[in-house]
Chain A
């Protein structure tokens, strides 16, 4: 196995509305920011992996090169649903591990401000006559007639299924609203978050219902944004300055999984099994356990999703996610701070940027550069993303000993 791979430079743009910047502008801002943060230039980069899910056919990597440097290096345009950013990073990491590159650049970008429901936002029209179509032989659009295809509805069921399996006796709406209250409170300390307003439990519960028990502030915020990371081999890092070595963050684990078949996964996506598998592999690779983590950024695309991932990532005992939340553990002053960035519910979720932006957040703390929201003395952190279909990325990061 090749040596350790390090994050040398990493950045994220402000998440929110960028009406005057296109996807390439945002990608360029993030990429140039990451290169500058790492103290290198595009001339030093041996491989580029880039993702822009909504424009997956356009070749964002090459589009980006035309703005920041066409150096002829191999470009991998990747698309893996909401795990696209993590997949880009993992691609660059693999190129270094394979010995084909010393320096890699990974970029994720999305423009989503003003987008409504992303899946299930439009419905195929019914034809004039009932004609069976597709693999279900459906004579009419199924969304709304045979369950729901909207993401808030799908993930609502994911959370409700967990409550059913573990015989929760309380009020689901209030339970999940508490997760959202936590993340919105965390966001007030993150100037790069799309929304930075604290919200009370009553405000969250009383807001517009999207798909019970997810109200609007319990859903990830559609917004524009980009994030980028420069990764280097261990041998390359050793040739760089003391300051670069001090700020470098060790990638102790980099794992990507897809969903193994489970009964029921054809009906409701199983976001649990592949996350558990990724977490298990990541802890093994890194030689750490959940108790060693100082902070976690996990994929709270909806409040109902955050709950199940406490359990999937092993942050609590099996079946103990509700108790974990109620113990105060995932709050920024708790035992295991989760989503101190504000999470996707307030920081925002520009799809392909998310899987690098969550790593930026963890790195920011490990470098001791997170300012007022710094988790003091953070040494080890975990970043998790999941894209339906499904793909799960888990990275474990450690502060440099240099």
Chain B
């Protein structure tokens, strides 16, 4: 089977694809990137990995029409509340217009291939798609 790699290390592809966060063992603040200590409480005691809900609600979005060369526009960038953890992602599998993308809409995680590199490894990206196709 072809080797696959997630676009970021907080996307887990095994089984049901899902996102994971590092949670501060002292205060419970969650991070998607590597932190030296907790920005919320200052504790350097350590972090544990926690799985993030695969469904969420769209709290904010923009439809980007002007971006750097190489980025396909328009696309929908959004902020998704996944059971209390805020996630940044594109909203995918829906037309990028304000008639189809609405604040508060229910979404679920979706993954898709980004391409295969010269070593034959496929990178996998993620976004959130409408739970109910309108």
Contacts and interface: CB of A to CB of B under 8 A. Distances in A.
A144 B86 CA distance: 18
Of B5, B68, B74, B125, chain A has the most CB atoms within 10 Å of the CB of B68
A153 B77 contact: yes
Contacts of B43: none
Interface string A132-171: 1011111110111111101011101110110110000000
Given A139-B123, A263-B29, A146 B89 contact: yes
Interface string B88-101: 11100000001000
Interface class of chain A by DSSP: loop
Nearest to A262: B40
B50 interface: no
A239 interface: no
Given A123-B68, A139-B123, A150-B66, A145 B88 contact: no
A79 to B, nearest CB: 21
B10 to A, nearest CB: 7
A143 to B, nearest CB: 6
Interface string B27-45: 0011111100001100000
A214 B75 CA distance: 14
Given A157-B60, A160-B61, A147 B114 contact: no
Contact of A121 (B68, B78, B103): B68
Given A128-B117, A163-B103, A164-B103, A148 B8 contact: no
A72 interface: no
A140 B9 contact: no
Interface in B71-93: 71-75, 77-79, 84-90
Interface residues of A, number: 49
Interface of A: 117, 120-123, 128-130, 132, 134-140, 142-148, 150, 152-154, 156-158, 160-161, 163-164, 172-173, 208-214, 261, 263-264, 266-268
Interface of B: 5-10, 29-34, 39-40, 59-75, 77-79, 84-90, 98, 103-104, 114, 117-119, 121, 123, 125-126
17 contacts: A128-B118, A130-B117, A132-B5, A136-B8, A137-B10, A138-B7, A138-B8, A138-B9, A143-B67, A147-B77, A147-B88, A154-B62, A157-B61, A160-B62, A164-B103, A172-B98, A211-B64
